[in-house]
Structures are given as structure tokens and as C-alpha cells.
């Protein structure tokens, strides 16, 4: 409090002395109203100082300061003017200074007392500005008969000569000026917003292509690259008038982010280009060079941001702008030339053309920015601004890059079509192979049957009556072989139907897997067809494959379980091949397939004695009665010939030896008499595999 009071005691005499001789520096508002705008003479109203001064120091040393003629780099500038309202009503007066003056403070005095303090300038927070959204303007409201002394301090943080221009504007002229500025910036910002919207749509489309094309990172890299220029240009748009919405109270943070964002654009541009042009595979040394270049760019961007934001060294920020952009431009041009000369590919010309437009737009924007920082009136292309040339460069670049990406998509689609055609051709060949195998198997059945009949006739002619019993036995064995061989094409036909189902369903992956497994099963069947008996282990292996096929075909609609009595060695027990499968097929197709919820299929194998097995096939399907009803409604449904063949095989088995082979079906019902499934009890004769015991 004592220090503030002492400063006040010091300022008041100085102000009284100042106001005693201020008639020559007074501007009447009636004169301003008549002329609408008055340019302030720098020699009359301005002062310059090599050192930074406080208000008190300025008032003390003002007489010794040089009048302001032309600004010099790194100097501080002061302006002093008295405004007298000689009109009958309160007036609003506006003082305009160039936007390049960054942090400006205005002190207002009446009758020797400080009545107001205002701020403006491009680096002052929006909330502190005298006129929101217009950092180059300060507003003063002066009552009738009042005289207001305004002392202003201006700062400029570059090594260039500042553009010093100060003007008093009447309220009427200011509103006309605002209308003109709004109209001008509306064109710039309007173009910018249209551009931003279009590019955001492109980013979303690239992300869509990324997920649609098996996460090909060329689309992801391009969308990330587009995001950085959109963020950078969004910052630039937010600096204009009422569009200053992003970080309005942190202008220095936006200024500090300028370098990282622009170098981020360069990094992701380079990364996308390497992937887009397949440089890694064509010219690895170029790819390695660009990776090191990106590392340098990234380190510089991080270090620059930390240094600028923590030190506030605006002079260094602006001093580095020209050299760094020159280096980036030279490197970019060199890389484009290398790409155009060294690389081959369908998208190289699109990349080179788009990059040229991008560099041209940025070069024009850089030139305009540098020239404007030296002298804002040297060159102007209004209503377009530097940002619009950057936007046009990016837009034309995106146009050609998009054509290149479209070319990649066209090439990719052509390759996919060729792969699909080859796959379809392979499926056709597989189907032909399956038909041929089926025909060959049927031919084998016919040939073997004819051979058996021929042998029978020969036996009838050559053997005597005492060999009749042996002949009959051989005839039954021949009949069993015939029935066994008939199971092979029947089983193969069902498996091929399952493959055909997956192909028609366009589930190519499952069809391919199914074909692979089918090949394995086919080898088993061909191997088993040469034998009258196989091990129980081999039979169960084929059965497991079959149940897996059907489970996949019906989308895992049922679960399956095989239980084997502990003392049964499946590798030693011999049975006829494909003796269990027809009952499992019948349970799936007529019991479980029509069940709305998931079903269960249980196979239990137990030993009645050393040469007799009991096999239970139990399902919790819809039951035989309902299955017959459905079958009568659908005459084209699945018909299982396997059960009829198996019944004949079991009967033939009983004719050969002391047979107890056979099966019976039981309907499972709940307490209310409703069908809850079917149980089949199969009894078959077995032999021990003596070759394994020895």
C-alpha cells in the first residue's frame, strides 16, 4: 500500500505538469466527427525507447526520449494523446494500431487520476482485449466536456523493423470498418470452413477404407497425415475475428504449437509417402533416409515447443521461421525429384503432381507471411489470405493423392477377382475329382460283385455237393463285402453334399477346411475298403470326422460325446468298417436337426463278452414319430439308405458265424409321454487283433 501510494504521489505532479502543456497534443472529437478518421503523427504523439520502461519511468524520462519517426527492431514504443469531447453527448472513440504489435497497454487519465487501463495486441488473451475479437483496436467512452489523456505502450518481438501506424476512428467509421473486415474475413474463413469440412469427410472415408481393406495402414497413415494440417489450419482460422474459439485465452500456446504442428505434417507426410509408394521394397536406402529425417523433425518439434513455451522467446521463434521452412522446402523438393526419377509404380505420377501443388501453395503462403511480417502494405491479395493458398495446395494435393489411392484400390480389386476366379476354378476341379472318385468306387463295387458271382458259378461247376456248405459260406461273405463297399459311396456322397452346402453358403474358408478334412477321411475309407475288418479305434476316428462335419454344417447345433468302457482296448478290437456311422447319421438328420435348441448325441461302447460289443447311440432329438410326420410332409428330404444296408450286413454277419449281431430302437419319453429322443442298442460280433498281441 505504501509503495502504491508513493507511485501515485509521483505520477500526479507529472500528470498535472503534462496536462498544463497538452493543448498542442489535444484532438477534439468534433474534429474527429468531421473527418471520420485521423492518422496520428508519429513525431507529434510518439516516442521510442531502447529500454523497457514502466509508466512512471516514461513520465520521468519522456522529455529525454526521441520522438518516434520510424520503428526499430527490439525497441519499445510509446504514444501520448489527449482526446477532448467538445460535443453535447457521450462519444465512443476507437484507436487502431497494427496487428503486428503484440502486447499493448493503454493508461487513461482524467483530471490527474487514472480512470482506466486497457489491453490489446495479438499475444494478449481474448478475455483481456479492449474490443473482443479485434486485438488491434481499443475503445474509449468519453463524457461531454471531458478531456482524457491516453498513454499507450507497445511491444514488438522480432528482429524486423515494425510497422507503426496509429489512427483515431469515429464510431460511425469504426462500424463501417468492422463491416468491411467481417465481410473480408468471412470470405477467408468461409473458404476455410468449407475446406475443413471436406477434408474431415476425407479423413472419415480413409478410416472407413482402412477397416474395409483388412486394416491396410496406407489409409490410416493418410488419415493421420490429413489430421495434422486440419488441426494447424484450424488454429489459423480461430485467429480471425469472431472465429477465435480455440484456446482464445492462450495465444502464446497457439504460437508455440505452430512449429510442432507443421513438423508433424512433414513427418506424417513422409511416412505416408513411403508406404504409399512402397519405397521400402523398391529403394530401402530412401526409406532409411526418410526415417532418420522424420526423427530429426520430431526431435526439433519437441525441443522447439518446450523452449518456446517455457522461455517465451518470440524473437527466436520468428527468426527460425524462414530458415527452417527453407530447409524443409529444399528437402521436400529433393525427395520429390528422387521419387520421380528413381521409383516406378502406378501411383508415382499422382504423388509427384499432388506434392508439387502442395509445395507451391505452401511456398506462396510462406512468402506472403514473411513479406507481411516486414511490411503489411507491401503486398496484398485480399480477400484471400496466406492460409487460403495453403488450403488450395492441400486440396489439390488431396485430389491427386485420392486418385492414386483409387488406383491402388482398383489394382487390389483386380487381384481379388483373380484370386476368387482361381478359387472357384479349384472348387470346380475338386467337384469333378469327387464325382470321378465316386464313379470309380461304384465301378469297383460292380467289378467285385461280378467277380464274386463268377467265382460262385465256377464253384458250382467244379465243386461237388460236399462243398456246398463251404460255398454258401463264401457266398454270404461275398454278399457282406458287397454291402460293405456300398457304404463307401453312400458315405462319400453325404460328405460331398456337406461340402456343396458350405460352397453354396459362400463360406469359402469352412469349405476349404472341410475339403482338407474330407481328403483325410477319404484316405481312411479307401484304406478300410480293402479290409473286411478294421480296429475299433479306426472306426471311431472316421466316426469323429463325420460328426465334426455334421456339427459344422449345422453351426454346432448339437454336442457329441463318446464313452468307452475302461477295459476295452480299441486298438485290439476288430469290427466291420462303417458299422456305427449309419445310426449316428440317422440320429443327426432325423432327430437333432429338427430340434430348435441345442441337442446332445451320446455314444456308449461296452463289452458283453470277449467277442460281443454293445453300442448305444442315444439322442435327445424330436423322436421317431415326429420325424416320420416331418418326413411325410417333405418328400424331398434326407433319406438314410445306410440303415437298410447295415441291417443286411448284420444279417449276413449272423449267417457266417454264431451271430448275435443286431439292433433295436427305443423311443425315449418324459413323464407326460412326450418324445424326448431315441436310443439305438447295437450288438455286433468282434475279433481280437492277434497281430498286435504277438
- Cell numbers at 469, concatenated: 456248405
Same domain, 365 and 323: yes
Domain boundary among 164, 191, 206: 164
- Residue 434 domain-assigned (yes or no): no
Which cell numbers in the block locate residue 43? 513525431
Cα separation, 162 vs 373, whole angstroms: 8
In the chain, the number of structural domains is 3
Tell me: the pLDDT tens digits for 34-63? Answer: 888 888 887 788 888 777 888 888 888 877
The reply to whether 278 and 210 lie within a common domain is: yes
Task: For residue 59, give its domain range.
Answer: 2-164
Do 547 and 498 meet the contact criterion of CB atoms below 8 Å apart?
Answer: no
Q: Is the pLDDT of residue 292 over 90?
A: yes
Q: Please say whether the beta carbons of 139 and 130 come within 8 A.
A: yes
Residue 457 is assigned to a structural domain of this protein: no
Residues 69-122: pLDDT tens digits?
665 656 678 888 899 999 989 988 988 876 555 778 889 998 888 888 888 877
Domain harbouring 670, CATH code: 3.30.565.10
Q: Are residues 110 and 242 in the same domain?
A: no
pLDDT of residue 9: 45
> CB under 8 Å to 221, separation ≥6 — which residues?
268, 271, 272, 275, 276
Residue 8 lies in a domain: yes
Would you call 37 helix, strand, or coil by DSSP? strand
Does residue 433 surpass a pLDDT of 90?
A: no
Pair type for strands 558-564 and 599-609: parallel
Last residue of a domain, one of 102, 130, 164: 164
User: Which phi and psi angles does 10 have, rounded to 5°?
Assistant: -75, -40
Alpha helices in 554-677 (DSSP H): 581-587, 624-633, 642-656
Question: What's the first-to-final CA gap in the chain, in angstroms?
Answer: 115
- 545 & 664 share domain: yes
Is residue 281 in a domain? Answer: yes
Q: Binning pLDDT at 50, 70 and 90, where does residue 291 land?
A: very high
Determine which of 241-250, 473-482, 561-570 has the lowest per-residue pLDDT on average.
473-482
The model's pLDDT over 601-655, given as tens digits with 9 standing for 90+, comes to: 999 999 888 888 899 999 998 888 888 887 766 645 555 566 777 777 777 777 7
The span from the CA of 664 to the CA of 154, in Å, is 108
79: domain CATH number?
2.60.40.2380
d(CA 245, CA 220): 29
Query: Looking at the domain assignment, is residue 416 inside a domain?
Result: no
| Cα–Cα dist 523/506, whole Å | 26
pLDDT at 16: 44
Q: What is the pLDDT of residues 468-501, one digit of tens each?
A: 555 455 544 555 455 455 555 656 676 677 677 7
The verdict on residue 455 lying in a domain is no
Measured from the Cβ of residue 690, the count of other Cβ atoms closer than 10 Å reads 9
The stretch 198-213 carries a mean pLDDT of: 81
Return the pLDDT at 546.
Answer: 81
| 298 confidence band (pLDDT: 50, 70, 90) | very high
* Co-location of 151 and 186 in the same domain: no
Tell me: do 342 and 482 sit in the same domain: no
Same-domain check for residues 233 and 377:
yes
619 and 685, same domain (yes or no): yes
**Contact 48/71 with Cβ under 8 angstroms?**
yes
Domain end call among 135, 164, 193: 164
CB 680 within 8 A of CB 656: no
Based on the fold, state whether residues 183 and 287 are members of the same structural domain: yes
- Do 151 and 194 belong together in one domain? no
399 and 492 together in one domain:
no
**Residue 373, pLDDT score:** 54
Distance, CA of 239 to CA of 602 (rounded, Å): 76
Q: Is residue 429 part of a domain?
A: no
Co-location of 160 and 187 in the same domain: no
Residues 12-37 have pLDDT tens digits of 444 444 444 444 478 898 898 888 88
User: Furthest-apart CA pair in the chain: how many Å?
Assistant: 159
Amino acid at each position: 500500500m505504501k509503495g502504491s501510494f508513493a507511485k501515485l504521489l509521483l505520477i500526479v505532479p507529472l500528470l498535472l505538469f503534462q496536462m498544463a502543456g497538452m493543448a498542442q497534443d489535444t484532438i477534439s472529437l468534433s474534429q474527429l466527427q468531421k473527418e471520420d478518421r485521423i492518422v496520428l503523427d508519429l513525431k507529434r504523439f510518439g516516442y521510442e525507447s531502447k529500454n523497457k520502461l514502466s509508466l512512471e519511468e516514461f513520465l520521468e524520462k519522456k522529455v529525454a526520449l526521441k520522438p518516434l519517426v520510424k520503428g526499430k527492431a527490439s525497441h519499445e514504443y510509446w504514444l501520448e494523446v489527449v482526446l477532448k469531447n467538445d460535443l453535447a453527448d457521450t462519444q465512443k472513440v476507437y484507436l487502431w494500431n497494427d496487428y503486428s504489435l503484440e502486447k499493448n497497454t493503454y493508461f487513461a487519465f482524467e483530471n490527474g487520476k487514472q480512470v482506466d487501463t486497457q489491453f490489446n495486441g495479438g499475444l494478449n488473451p481474448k478475455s483481456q482485449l479492449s474490443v473482443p475479437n479485434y486485438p488491434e483496436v481499443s475503445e474509449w467512452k468519453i463524457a461531454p466536456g471531458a478531456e482524457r489523456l491516453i498513454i499507450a505502450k507497445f511491444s514488438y518481438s522480432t528482429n524486423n523493423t515494425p510497422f507503426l501506424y496509429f489512427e483515431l476512428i469515429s464510431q460511425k467509421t469504426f462500424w463501417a470498418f468492422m463491416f468491411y473486415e467481417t465481410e473480408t474475413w468471412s470470405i477467408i474463413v468461409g473458404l476455410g470452413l468449407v475446406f475443413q469440412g471436406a477434408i474431415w469427410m476425407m479423413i472419415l472415408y480413409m478410416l472407413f477404407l482402412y477397416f474395409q481393406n483388412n486394416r491396410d495402414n496406407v489409409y490410416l497413415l493418410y488419415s493421420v497425415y490429413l489430421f495434422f494440417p486440419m488441426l494447424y489450419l484450424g488454429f489459423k482460422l480461430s485467429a480471425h475475428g469472431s472465429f477465435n474459439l480455440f484456446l482464445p485465452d492462450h495465444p502464446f500456446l497457439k504460437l508455440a504449437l505452430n512449429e510442432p504442428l507443421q513438423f508433424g505434417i512433414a513427418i506424417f507426410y513422409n511416412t505416408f509417402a513411403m508406404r504409399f509408394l512402397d519405397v521400402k521394397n523398391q529403394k530401402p536406402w530412401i526409406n532409411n533416409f526418410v526415417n532418420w529425417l522424420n526423427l530429426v523433425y520430431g526431435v526439433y518439434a519437441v525441443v522447439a515447443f518446450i523452449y518456446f513455451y517455457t522461455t517465451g522467446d518470440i524473437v527466436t521463434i520468428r527468426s527460425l521461421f524462414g530458415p527452417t521452412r527453407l530447409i524443409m522446402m529444399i528437402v521436400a523438393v529433393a525427395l520429390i525429384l528422387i521419387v520421380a526419377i528413381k521409383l516406378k509404380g502406378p501411383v508415382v505420377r499422382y504423388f509427384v503432381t499432388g506434392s508439387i501443388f502442395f509445395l507451391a501453395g505452401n511456398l506462396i503462403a510462406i512468402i506472403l507471411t514473411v513479406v507481411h511480417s516486414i511490411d503489411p502494405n507491401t503486398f496484398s491479395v485480399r480477400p484471400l489470405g496466406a492460409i487460403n493458398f495453403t488450403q488450395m495446395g492441400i486440396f489439390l494435393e488431396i485430389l491427386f493423392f485420392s486418385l492414386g489411392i483409387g488406383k491402388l484400390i482398383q489394382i487390389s480389386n483386380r487381384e481379388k477377382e483373380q484370386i476368387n476366379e482361381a478359387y472357384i476354378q479349384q472348387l470346380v476341379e475338386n467337384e469333378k475329382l469327387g464325382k470321378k472318385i465316386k464313379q470309380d468306387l461304384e465301378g469297383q463295387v460292380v467289378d467285385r460283385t461280378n467277380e464274386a458271382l463268377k467265382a460262385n458259378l465256377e464253384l458250382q461247376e467244379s465243386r461237388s455237393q460236399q462243398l456246398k456248405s463251404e460255398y454258401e459260406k463264401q457266398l454270404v461273405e461275398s454278399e457282406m463285402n458287397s454291402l460293405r463297399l456300398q457304404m463307401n459311396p453312400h458315405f462319400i456322397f453325404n460328405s460331398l453334399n456337406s461340402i456343396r452346402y458350405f460352397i453354396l453358403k459362400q463360406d469359402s474358408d469352412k469349405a476349404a477346411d472341410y475339403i482338407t478334412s474330407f481328403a483325410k477321411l477319404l484316405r481312411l475309407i479307401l484304406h478300410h475298403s480293402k479290409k473286411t475288418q478294421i480296429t475299433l479305434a479306426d472306426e471311431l476316428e472316421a466316426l469323429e470326422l463325420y460328426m465334426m462335419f455334421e456339427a459344422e454344417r449345422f453351426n454346432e447345433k448339437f454336442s457329441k460325446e463318446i464313452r468307452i468302457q475302461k477295459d476295452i482296448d480299441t486298438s485290439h478290437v476288430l469290427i466291420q468298417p462303417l458299422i456305427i456311422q449309419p445310426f449316428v447319421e440317422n440320429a443327426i438328420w432325423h432327430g437333432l436337426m429338427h430340434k430348435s435348441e441345442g441337442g446332445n448325441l451320446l455314444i456308449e461302447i461296452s463289452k458283453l463278452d470277449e467277442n460281443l460289443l454293445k453300442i448305444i447311440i442315444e439322442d435327445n432329438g424330436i423322436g421317431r414319430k415326429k420325424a416320420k410326420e416331418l418326413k411325410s410332409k417333405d418328400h424331398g428330404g434326407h433319406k438314410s439308405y445306410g440303415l437298410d444296408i447295415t441291417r443286411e450286413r448284420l444279417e449276413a454277419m449272423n449267417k457266417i458265424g454264431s451271430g448275435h449281431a443286431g439292433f433295436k430302437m427305443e423311443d425315449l419319453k418324459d413323464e407326460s409321454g412326450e418324445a424326448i429322443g431315441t436310443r439305438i442298442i447295437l450288438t455286433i460280433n468282434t475279433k481280437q487283433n492277434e497281430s498286435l498281441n504277438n
